[in-house]
Amino acid sequence: MNTPVDTALIQSLDREHFLHPFTDFKDMAAHGARVITRAENIYVWDSDGHKLLDAMSGLWCVNVGYGREELATAAYRQMMTLPYYNSFFQTTNVPAVQLAARLSALAPEVGGRSFKHVFYSSSGSESNDSNVRMVRRYWDLLGQPERKIIIGRINGYHGSTMAGASLGGMSSMHAQGDLPIPNITHIGQPYFYEMGQPGETPAEFGLRAAGWLEDKILALGADKVAAFIAEPVQGAGGVIIPPDSYWPEIQRIVDKYGILLISDEVICAFGRVGHWFAYEKFGYRPDLVTFAKGVTSGYIPLGGVMVGNRVAEVLIEQGGEFNHGYTYSGHPVACAVALANLDVMEKENLPGRVKDDIGPYLAKRFAELGEHPLVGLAETCGFMGGLVLSKNKAMHEAFDPELGVGMLCRGHCFRLGLIMRAVGDRMIIAPPLVMTHEQIDEMMTLIRRCLDATLVDLQAAGQMD
Ligand code: PXG
């Protein structure tokens, strides 16, 4: 399986022909890409034979780990039976139907919200575009077309298409291409470490941060607001975990003004926070739930929206064509792989493992990093974690962003055999949900080594004592 790769040739073809996502093309051409050639369990290897522990599950998606034959077999079988057919013209296919029924059974009913219907896409971004279309259609059908505005959050991430990037609150993305598109606006994120005031408890801050939603609704006029979209825990923003008081207060506010609630669970669903769907953990009642990534553990592209009864009943009962969909909506191979992936997750009880076993163990081990001189905060939620690199932890003092301390640490990680992501000076992990306790220990040893190496560099540069 390990075919030798001519690294220099692949790197030169890469430079000449492949424009990578979220990449400074000029800078990358100067350095050359790392060529990843194979993977097994929680490890990936590059073309030089360098082994890396993948603490990011690819890009938050390989929940069942690499090399699962069950998923490959499901794809092969489905390709030989029916590799493709569309679901546009009153046709359907078996895996797409089976998956929709299965997902609907996995999504818990809460407070009168049930999820009997699924709208398919191939990615998280497309799914959020579908959300915008569906939300607007819903209010049109109810005779309130002026309810158009969708509120997202600063530093939220909802994808990279025009609508996805607009719903997200990444200023660097908005700066390119005149975003956000009209009728999308943002409120602040519930990030206590940075935004909590002196003397304020996390619970008080959670209520205050949720209150920004009510302030925004009142400023815009409630009759203009269609929906609020948020990630249960912000992923790409740096694993920002809201205080416990935040989500119940958000629920109270959307209920008060009749606004739809969209839970973007592209990262948080399928076991990542110890449940099939994250809204269950945080105790709120969304109307639409975005999913992608973990539904197939990233083995093949698939995404979609779980459509709650409040929206589905209006779309279905009022009738009229919904003029929206994709060539690959309900792709039979992607859906077959998703079914095999859910089989593995169910058989190995991965959400339960995260909730009761490896999640608590990771929480305990990760918290120990708080003692490291460079770490201002270390926290986890389920099987994702974030730590803040701080110049003076007692004072919550940040490094000069120009120093690129997160990137410095990330460089040490790669060198020492660990894949961690840097979001500014927050180092984040979201490992595969199949990790053993021993592998968690191995990861923690690697993280400590990377932090130590970063500290040595910063001391040499006179940035730390
Ligand atoms: N919503 C959320 C919450 C996401 O995390 C998307 C939507 C978009 O999904 P697609 O499949 O269109 O990429 C995501 C994707 C990072 C990173 O650097 C995170 C994502 C994608 C790429 C990079 O952390 N999340």
Q: Is the CB of 173 under 6 A from ligand 1?
A: no
- Span 362-385, mean pLDDT? 97
Q: Tokens 């589905």 — which residue?
A: 312
Q: Is the CB of 249 under 6 A from ligand 1?
A: no
Instruction: Give the pairing of strands 375-381 and 260-264.
Output: unpaired
Residue 394 above 90 pLDDT?
Answer: no
Q: Could you please state the CATH topology (level 3) that the domain comprising 34-64+351-460 is classified under.
A: Aspartate Aminotransferase, domain 1 (3.90.1150)
pLDDT band at 396 (very low <50, low <70, confident <90, very high): confident
Residue 368 above 70 pLDDT?
Answer: yes
* Percentage with pLDDT > 70 across the chain: 99
- Average per-residue pLDDT in the chain? 97
Q: Which two tokens stand for residue 333?
A: 């191979």
Q: How far is the CA of 175 from the centre of ligand 1 (A)?
A: 18
Residue 3 above 80 pLDDT?
Answer: no
Give the H/E segment covering residue 378. strand 375-381
Q: Where are the domains of the chain?
A: 34-64+351-460, 73-347
Q: Which two tokens stand for residue 293?
A: 């990534």
Q: Using alpha carbons, select from 172, 171, 132, 166 the residue that is nearest to residue 152.
A: 166
Q: Is the CB of 231 under 6 A from ligand 1?
A: yes
Q: Which two tokens stand for residue 83?
A: 């590799």
- Surface-to-core class of residue 48, CB atoms within 10 Å of its CB (0-12 exposed, 13-18 middle, 19+ buried): exposed
The pLDDT value given to residue 177: 84
Q: How far is the CA of 125 from the centre of ligand 1 (A)?
A: 7
Q: How far is the CA of 61 from the centre of ligand 1 (A)?
A: 10
The pLDDT value given to residue 1: 53
Per DSSP, the three-state class of 267 is coil
pLDDT band at 258 (very low <50, low <70, confident <90, very high): very high
The pLDDT value given to residue 4: 81
Q: Is the CB of 170 under 6 A from ligand 1?
A: no
The preferred substitution site among 157, 231, 326 for testing ligand 1, maximizing ligand atoms within 8 Å of CB, is: 157
Kindly indicate whether the domain formed by 73-347 is annotated with CATH number 3.30.360.10: no
Q: Is the CB of 157 under 6 A from ligand 1?
A: yes
Lowest mean pLDDT segment, chosen from 116-130, 190-204, 261-275, 391-405: 391-405
Per DSSP, the three-state class of 289 is strand
Q: Is the CB of 292 under 6 A from ligand 1?
A: yes
Closest-CA residue, ligand 1 atom 17, reads 236
Residue 432 above 70 pLDDT?
Answer: yes
CA–CA separation, 127 vs 119, rounded Å?
8
Q: How far is the CA of 454 from the centre of ligand 1 (A)?
A: 28
Q: Output the CA torsion 201→203→206→212 (10° steps).
A: -80
pTM of the model: 0.98
Angle at 330 between CA 328 and CA 334, to 5 degrees: 80
Residue 35 above 80 pLDDT?
Answer: yes
The pLDDT value given to residue 2: 59
Cβ atoms of 317 and 309 within 8 Å: the answer is: no
pLDDT band at 202 (very low <50, low <70, confident <90, very high): very high
Residue 11 above 60 pLDDT?
Answer: yes
For 380-412, the DSSP string reads EETTEEEEEE-SBGGGTBPPPGGG-HHHHHHHH
The pLDDT value given to residue 24: 94
Q: Is the CB of 129 under 6 A from ligand 1?
A: no
- Span 274-292, mean pLDDT? 97
- Span 96-118, mean pLDDT? 96
- Span 342-370, mean pLDDT? 98
Q: Is the CB of 158 under 6 A from ligand 1?
A: yes
**pLDDT per residue over 155-201, tens digit each?**
999 999 999 999 999 999 999 989 999 999 999 999 999 999 999 99
CA–CA separation, 392 vs 377, rounded Å?
11
CA–CA separation, 187 vs 117, rounded Å?
30
The pLDDT value given to residue 420: 97
- What are the φ and ψ backbone dihedral angles of 428, each rounded to 5 degrees? -130, 150
